[in-house]
Amino acid sequence: MVKGRKITGGKYKDSRKKKKYSLSGTTRKVKLRTTKQKLIRELGGTKKKVLLSAEFANIIDPETKKAKKAKITSVLETPANHFLARQNILIKGAIIETELGNAKITNRPSQEGSVQAVLTKK
């Protein structure tokens, strides 16, 4: 059978065309480079600042409960997809190497304007 056709050969008609809100957005992969951000218009006219590439991360030390800004040196491991770690792409759950030590990314950098991470024990 040809896709989109009935057994009799007639065409299936869509009940309506796709609305703007139901279309998927572009996927953004945050790379490890000099920091670059972009403003995106959302539904209702609100603006969202998204990250395209990042160089620094806000890292929280769980023992002292203090936050520090540290430079990211590399992406060590990405549980979701090991190919993303090879390409130095920052996503939630990725283990990164920083000046302060290894840290785990706790936010979604592609949806927010920064990288948040928590120090992990070695």
Residue-wise pLDDT for 33-91, tens only, equals: 999 999 998 888 999 999 999 999 999 999 999 999 999 999 999 999 989 999 999 99
In a domain, 18, yes or no: no
pLDDT at 110 over 70: yes
Provide the 3-class DSSP secondary structure of residue 41. Answer: strand
Task: Output the pLDDT for position 75.
Answer: 96
Q: What sign does the dihedral 15-19-22-28 (CA atoms) show?
A: positive
Q: Is residue 62 part of a domain?
A: yes
For residue 12, tell me if it sits in a domain. Answer: no
Q: Which of 119, 80, 113, 114 is nearest to 96 (CA)?
A: 119
1 pLDDT exceeds 70? no
Domain membership of residue 15 (yes or no) is: no
Contacts of 87 (CB under 8 A, 6+ apart): 29, 31
Place of tokens 């995106």: 40
Residue 5 domain-assigned (yes or no): no
Residue range(s) defining the domain that contains residue 56: 30-119
Residue 104 in contact with residue 111, Cβ under 8 Å? no
What's the structural domain count of the chain? 1
Q: Is residue 52 helix, strand or coil?
A: strand
- pTM given for the model: 0.79
Q: How many CB atoms sit inside 10 A of residue 103's CB?
A: 25
Q: What is the mean pLDDT of residues 88-111?
A: 95
Q: Cα(38)–Cα(32) distance, rounded to whole angstroms? A: 16
Residue 84 belongs to a domain: yes
* pLDDT at residue 122 in the model: 66
Identify whether 53 is part of a domain.
Answer: yes
Quick check: 74 and 88 in contact, CB under 8 A? yes
Q: What percent of the chain has pLDDT over 90?
A: 69
Q: Is residue 2 part of a domain?
A: no
Tell me what percent of the residues of the chain surpass a pLDDT of 70: 98
The CATH number of whichever domain residue 69 belongs to comes to 3.10.290.70
**27 falls in which pLDDT band (50, 70, 90)?**
confident
